[in-house]
Amino acid sequence: MIGRLNHVAIAVPDLEAAAASYRDTLGAVVSEPLAQPDHGVTVVFVELPNTKIELLHPLGEESPIANFLQKSPSGGIHHICYEVDDIHAAREHLTEQGARVLGDGEPKIGAHGKPVLFLHPKDFFGTLIELERV
């Protein structure tokens, strides 16, 4: 059901410094910051030959990333995103298997302009999983 790894998301306390580190120290191609108000984050994508790194920074006080950074002030891995061909079929299969979809269970448009869902980390060994339609 799941396809290729789309990205690994890392919450960072300083988006500009994190982007500069990937760009200047590691020599990666780094996107411009992109505000995602519906998700409460600003994102920067680090392009790699086989996947992406998504740097996440809070957009507002109510951001889930602000909560994450309160618990882990240095930042850290926030979630892993896998691609799926059919996000609705994936949701149905996963809920039949007992996995919990976060929020209202309906896909929202993610940073790539495609529908996404998040799965409860307690159902996947402490890892927040994002599914993105290809």
Active site residues: 130
Integer angstrom CA distances of residue 45 from 20, 30, 67, 125: 12, 6, 21, 26
Q: Say which residue the tokens 């200047």 belong to.
A: 24
d(CA 117, CA 83): 11
d(CA 117, CA 52): 18
d(CA 88, CA 82): 14
Q: Which two tokens stand for residue 125?
A: 């060994």
How many other CB atoms are there within 10 angstroms of residue 33's CB atom? 15
